[in-house]
Amino acid sequence: MHPVLIFRHSPTEGPGYFTTFLDRHGIPWKLVRIDAGDAVPDNLNGISGVCLMGGPMSANDDLPWIPPVLALIRQAVSSDIPVIGHCLGGQLMAKALGGSVSANPVKEIGWGDVRITDTDAARPWLGDTRAPMRVFHWHGETFSLPPGATRILDSAFCANQAYVLNDRHIGMQCHVEMTPELIVSWCDNGAAEIAANNGPGVQSPGDIQADLSARTAQLHRLADKIYSRWIQGLRKQS
């Protein structure tokens, strides 16, 4: 199989559990380190899927790599190459496909429940459950739904937590790729941001890191469902 192309936009926001999942399923992957100056490919020849990770920047920032990434997302969708976006990645997808990115009413930092908003559209990705699911959040902005997309998740503080498009693309505002190591690192690097924000959607580093092994194990079970559906659409090598 051709590799999955993974975009890392910040050295602290790597693919985490996503590559653990790919490795377990024998799916090759290639990392594009935007933060290290790697060039954005101008085509998707030899690529089976595209994954976009998070980052502290905005999809609206005037950064030289954003326009070519948006163009590559549009190229992938038009070619039926599956795209998956985590947080900033979901925002970049939305922006590329005709949606917009703007400030969320409040910041969400820490653990919080997401709820299914469209049972039929969510079923292939999440199974038959209708119960709220605990995920990880770290964002101050959010996306609108791009044309043709269906929202499948929301939360108490963010109306658009995940959307699907054409049964093979998914953009998420939340993080399902987190590992204990990533969470500890984010709490260390983001301590000042947490201290400066005491809104209803922001948790303390101590609360975030409580019961970390059990929480991330539960998160990975949810990620397994989403990722398992996503890899079904990967382009097979010809």
Judge whether 87 counts as a catalytic residue.
yes
Three-class secondary structure of residue 66 per DSSP? helix
Select which of 2, 9, 137, 175 is catalytic: 175
Select which of 51, 87, 158, 187 is catalytic: 87
**CA–CA separation, 119 and 151 (whole Å):** 10
Which residue, 151, 54, 158, 56, is CA-closest to 106? 158
Judge whether 51 counts as a catalytic residue.
no
Three-class secondary structure of residue 49 per DSSP? strand
Select which of 13, 51, 108, 177 is catalytic: 177
Read out DSSP for 135-173?
EEEEEEEEEPPPTT-EEEEEESS-S-SEEEETTTEEEES
Judge whether 175 counts as a catalytic residue.
yes
Rounded to a whole number of angstroms, the distance between the first and last alpha carbons of the chain is 9
**CA–CA separation, 77 and 57 (whole Å):** 23
Point out the residues that are catalytic.
87, 175, 177
